[in-house]
Amino acid sequence: MKPYDQLLRDCILINNYWASADRRFPVMNPATGDLIAEVADADTNHVVEAIGAAAVAFETWGKTTARSRSLILKKWYQLVMQHTDALASLLTAEQGKPFTEAKGEVIYGASFIEWYAEECRRTYGETIPAPVAGKRLLTIKQPVGVVAAITPWNFPVAMITRKIAPALAAGCTVVLKPAEDTPLSALALASLAIEAGIPPGVLNVLPTSDAASIGKVLCTHPVVKKISFTGSTEVGKILMEQCASTVKRLSLELGGNAPVIVFDDADIMVAVKGTLASKYRNAGQTCVCANRIFVQQKIYPDFISRYREAVAELNVGNGATENVQIGPLINEAGINKVRRLLFDATEKGAEVITGGGTHPAGGLFFEPTIITNCNDSMLLSREEIFGPVSAIYVFNDEHEVVRLANKTEYGLAAYIFTQDINRAWRVAEQLEHGMIGINEGIISHAEAPFGGMKESGFGKEGGYYGIEEYLETKYLCIGGV
């Protein structure tokens, strides 16, 4: 008996009905290689059925009061919180992150449900002073309609609630396609949503091993009014093209290449702790993970020696066991990518000072690694590492480091460590990245806007910005007053 058995669902959810399918696909535990479940594999017929169910449900859900939606979302939030341990152990089993980190994700995920349960009661329109007599100008906010959410494997709970909670709160209905590697957390969350009172058709979940075909139907179907996607820039561009045929609204949270900048005047331990937190969260598999760590010349020797000590203390292993900080990577492709980038970097002169290879804990485990002597000819200065490898660069002055930090097509998160408030402002304003951590390595909160610039995408999730993505602002002009 596993702690999550009660929440384990292995079917497609359409209209609050758990449907099977002709085909099933395996969901494996990346730490042990064990099979967790064989899940019904949704095909394009299921997508059309789910969109139909969401469209019918929108007719009523879109007209319910904000308060009634708020009450259901609050109940969902409470249920998720009550099942934190079970959800976290399921998350660890299918994704690999350590149990305490998984618990943190469940609580973080739940915070979006709580926040939007509150925020939906404040989606105010406005009155606008008219430029001519006899007219009254105003705006109202209305739900955009049926929304499709396509979510990644690295945060199987939080990336779902960050999209679905504001969508449902706004009055939209949802078709969710979770990642192939981690559909079980999505299905568990949905079962709690049903228990909370989400009506049939309002939330539909399509686990699938055929992301490309399902995604294409979602993007091209005229009834779907909005796509919210978190994933790679490469896939984001394909979805964007597909959405053009119906001029669909889009939110894209895509790849990142986060610079961390440690200035000479930084508080060294704050910088070490912040960089460590940003880099090694989820074994380096987040879009906001430190990808390039720039350290100023004077502080460099001290920073390296303390950072190395801290990295050496990280415990690698199965996330279900105690005192583990680094779990496995998600799959073979993930570990091969890390190996390829590391090989390229060392060929071009990088020096491995800690780690550097697979970990004895098993095939998908990689040692927490630090490489120095990095430069921008290396592939890892351009590509997301998505693994537990710290790539360290040295820099001389502020002007140089701002140029280097911006030398990427990505623009998601960046981090600055300095005790000079003027420098913090100056550099933050110059960085072409959508989110800046200043003396802080963990920046995401339900209350704040999460999102990127440049090829990291557009649209914000979180905060009051997050619900706007699911609302139309309609302008009314009343004449003859």
Does 115 participate in binding ligand SIN (rule CB under 6 A)? no
Does 456 participate in binding ligand SIN (rule CB under 6 A)? no
Applying CB under 6 A, the site for ligand SIN has a residue count of 10
Does 444 participate in binding ligand SIN (rule CB under 6 A)? yes
Q: Say how far apart CA 51 and CA 473 lie, in whole Å.
A: 24
Instruction: Candidates 27-35, 282-290, 291-299, 463-471: pick the segment binding ligand SIN (CB under 6 A).
Output: 282-290
CA-derived radius of gyration, the chain: 23
Closest approach of ligand SIN to the CB of residue 75, in Å: 24
Q: Say how far apart CA 124 and CA 189 lie, in whole Å.
A: 29
Nearer to ligand SIN, 153 or 366 (CB): 153
The count of other CB atoms within 10 Å of the CB of residue 402 is: 21
287 is catalytic: yes
Q: How far is CA 175 from the centre of its chain?
A: 17
Nearer to ligand SIN, 155 or 366 (CB): 155
Among 49, 114, 180, 253, the active-site one is 253
CB 79 within 8 A of CB 195: yes
Closest approach of ligand SIN to the CB of residue 20, in Å: 32
SS3 label, residue 120: helix
Q: Say how far apart CA 435 and CA 423 lie, in whole Å.
A: 17
Nearer to ligand SIN, 32 or 84 (CB): 84
Nearer to ligand SIN, 144 or 288 (CB): 288
Closest approach of ligand SIN to the CB of residue 444, in Å: 3
Terminal C-alpha separation, the chain: 69
CB 190 within 8 A of CB 205: yes
* Burial (CB count within 10 angstroms: exposed 0-12, middle 13-18, buried 19+), residue 467: buried
Six-digit token string for 165 = 């909670």
CB 72 within 8 A of CB 196: yes
Closest approach of ligand SIN to the CB of residue 357, in Å: 25
Nearer to ligand SIN, 14 or 165 (CB): 165
Does 230 participate in binding ligand SIN (rule CB under 6 A)? yes
- By Cβ distance, which residue is nearest to ligand SIN? 444
Touching ligand SIN, residues 150-189 (CB under 6 A): 154-155, 158
Among 287, 384, 455, 469, the active-site one is 287
Touching ligand SIN, residues 70-109 (CB under 6 A): none
Closest approach of ligand SIN to the CB of residue 462, in Å: 8
Closest approach of ligand SIN to the CB of residue 281, in Å: 8
243 is catalytic: no
Does 192 participate in binding ligand SIN (rule CB under 6 A)? no
Compute φ and ψ for 439, nearest 5 degrees: 55, 35
Q: Say how far apart CA 155 and CA 106 lie, in whole Å.
A: 9
Determine how β-strand 17-19 pairs with β-strand 12-14: antiparallel
Touching ligand SIN, residues 283-302 (CB under 6 A): 286-288
- Could you identify the residue written with the tokens 């190996």? 339
Give buried/exposed letters for 228-242 (b at 16+ CB in 10 A, else e): bbbbebebbeebbeb
Touching ligand SIN, residues 308-367 (CB under 6 A): none
| CA angle (360, 105, 216) in 5-degree steps | 90
- Could you identify the residue written with the tokens 């890892």? 380
Nearer to ligand SIN, 31 or 287 (CB): 287
E-state strands within 256-312: 258-262, 290-296
Closest approach of ligand SIN to the CB of residue 289, in Å: 7
Nearer to ligand SIN, 418 or 444 (CB): 444
Task: Kindly list the residues in this chain that would bind ligand SIN in the complex (CB under 6 A).
Answer: 154-155, 158, 230, 253, 286-288, 444, 450
Catalytic residue positions, numbered:
253, 287
